Amino acid sequence: MREQIDKIKEDEGKPIVLKNVFNRDEIEKFLQLYKNLPITVHNKKQNVIKKRWLSNYGEDLEKLFYKKLSNEIGDFKYDNLKSEDGKSILGLFQESYNPIGLHIDGGFDFKDLIYKQSLIPLTPVGSTIIFKNRFYGQSTNFTIDKDELKKKDLKYGQNNRSSEHLNLFGKKPFDSQMHKKYLNHEKIENLTGLEVELIYEWELGSMLIFDRSNLHCSSSVIEGKKIGLTTFTKK
| pLDDT digits 0-9 by tens, 78-109 | 987 766 676 778 999 999 999 999 999 999 98
Residue 47's pLDDT is 74
Q: Which ranges of the chain have pLDDT less than 50?
A: none
Residue 1's pLDDT is 66
pLDDT tens digits for range 159-175: 999 999 999 999 999 99
Residue 188's pLDDT is 98
Residue 202's pLDDT is 97
Total tally of structural domains belonging to the chain: 1
Range of the domain at 134: 5-234
* Cα dihedral 103, 50, 201, 11 sign: positive
Percent helix, strand, coil in the chain, to 5, is 25, 30, 45
Return the H-helix or E-strand segment holding 142.
strand 140-142
Residue 45's pLDDT is 59
Residue 146 maps to which CATH number? 2.60.120
Model pTM score: 0.94
Full DSSP string of 50-112: EEEEETTS-HHHHHHHHHHHHHHH-S-EE--PBPTTS-BEEEEEEEESS---SEE---S-TTS
